[in-house]
Structure 1
């Protein structure tokens, strides 16, 4: 279980922050409010997917230990 790292979550956090910045750009700078709102929904999806895959990795590690 020691080999489980947080690298995947770090990448997801960076992608989410980038998405928030892009959403703010679209909403306030370019004036495309609809696109800004759409892109603003991405961080939640990115973080949810990263959490799911990390939990699956942990689950597999626990199953390997129990075998």
Structure 2
């Protein structure tokens, strides 16, 4: 998939890998994860900058997809 992206002229790709344990810890203590970036319905955001309710929605979506 990545190779195909570049063969078709793509110039930028952002790959993030996150395990559920880290996401749960970040939800409990977001200040400990200031650089954690998550994808949120068409945009990316620093996880710690999201409201507690929105962080929980991100966690719930992640857990549903696992």
TM score, norm. by length of structure 1: 0.33
Structure (1/2) with the larger strand percentage? 2
Greater relative CO (CA pairs within 8 A, separation 6+): 1
Structure (1/2) with the larger helix percentage? 1
